[in-house]
Amino acid sequence: MPDRLTMQDPRTQYPKPPFPKQPQPRPGIAGKLEPRPDHGEKSYIGAGKLKGRKALVTGGDSGIGRAAAIAFAREGADVAIAYLPSEEEDAREVLALIEEAGRNAVALPGDVSDEAWSRQLVEDAVKGLGGIDILVINAGRQQWRENVGEVTSDDFDKTIKTNLYARHWITQAAVPHLPVGASVITTASVQAYEPSDILLDYATTKAGIVAYTKALAKQLVEKGIRANVVAPGPFWTVLQASGGQPQEMVAHFGEHSRFGRPGQPVEIAPVYVLLASQEGSYITGEVFGVTGGAGIA
């Protein structure tokens, strides 16, 4: 993995497309991606910014959630990760990395599109960690469809339940447990601002995440709690190869960014650390775009 602490050309710091076509059944396994993503397993170095904190990260087995979970542990936080049972292989690697950092790791396998589980996972995280003061709602569903006629009601239902309903259920369950100084971070997307024609339902939910979180921030600031959004651009995660994009687009994923490559999950992890830490004490209701130069409106 590249040395992230040495000054270098960001255009060539990580692999560029073309990549091999590599279809996987949803939700996919990160370890089977080629090239293998850098979630910070060897490259993220912490500085104690979250010492003693307790974080719950949904979708923490792979992609951006995995990178955030690893970074949080390296910064001194205990971490609970929620993930689908079929993602156990990836999740076990993350849990081991959290423990290697000397932190408490809590496994929460289940499907957040189920309301009862979305609420229960919060209670289980509180029990396992002894509380929660960082909440990262990151789990998401993405499935491309060629045109509007192919987006079925089942597609819309599954995407909205995973990306929006679960966010609401988890937030409702978590807020009573969040102390003054806590931080809520949601993962949206550049798709909220520049939607792709093949991601109708996904882009719709990502725009909803932005609105929901900005409204939530206005409520929570009265409790001394901050809430912010991270809006990634093209990041090299298993979400893309497991049905999130056509395989032709996976092969060239990220090549139209200013850097000519997709971002690696570890490259966005420091944003989550900032928003989770007390260093972000004056940041709430904001959207942080990390888009490879595309920007957000």
Cite the active site residues: 202
Which structure tokens are listed for 124? 């289980």
Say which residues have a Cβ less than 8 Å from residue 255's Cβ, sequence separation at least 6.
16, 17, 18, 261
Distance CA 12, CA 170 (A): 39
User: In degrees to the nearest 10, what's the CA dihedral of 205, 210, 213, 216?
Assistant: -100
Sign of the C-alpha dihedral, residues 74, 77, 80, 81?
A: negative
SS percent in the chain: helix, strand, coil, step 5:
45, 15, 45
**How far is residue 11's CA from residue 115's CA, in Å, rounded to a whole number?**
42
Residue 69 CA to residue 269 CA, distance in Å, equals 9
Alpha-carbon distances, residue 70 vs 1, 37, 255 (angstroms):
15, 13, 27
Task: Tell me how far apart the alpha carbons of residues 183 and 79 are, in angstroms, rounded to a whole number.
Answer: 14
Give the integer Cα–Cα distance in Å for 127 and 125: 5
Q: What is the DSSP string of 115-152?
A: HHHHHHHHHHHHHHHTS-SEEEE--------SSGGG--
- The per-residue DSSP string of 171-196 comes to HHHHGGGPPTT-EEEEE--GGGTS--
Six-digit token string for 278: 């007390």
State the sign of the Cα–Cα–Cα–Cα dihedral 40, 55, 58, 80.
positive
